Amino acid sequence: MNKPELVVIRTYLNKAEAEIAHGALEAAQVRSMIGADDAGGTGPELWMSGVKLLVRTEDVARAEKILSAAK
């Protein structure tokens, strides 16, 4: 079985902002995940490259629409 390809749809300055967007997508039944290079949560100061919100390739258009409406 092939793994779905994930795409970074947004990058946030902190995990709280990413969690809000993640929640909006989940409420609309669009699966997403948060990725941050923070040593498993023990080093939030390592978020220099931002906190990424990822969705499956086939969900990009729908996720963009949901997140744009939430602004």
Q: What is the pTM of this model?
A: 0.79
CA angle 55, 59, 60 (to 5 degrees): 75
Q: What are the phi and psi torsion angles at 69 (to 5°)? A: -70, -25
Nearest to 37 by CA among 57, 55, 11, 69: 11
Those residues with Cβ within 8 angstroms of residue 14's Cβ, 6 or more apart along the chain or in another chain: 44, 47, 51
The reported pLDDT for the residue numbered 3 is: 80
Low pLDDT (below 70) residues in the chain: 1, 37-49, 71
The reported pLDDT for the residue numbered 1 is: 66
Tell me the domains of the chain and their CATH numbers.
6-69 (3.30.70.1530)
Q: Helices 15-27 and 60-69: crossing angle, nearest 10°?
A: 110
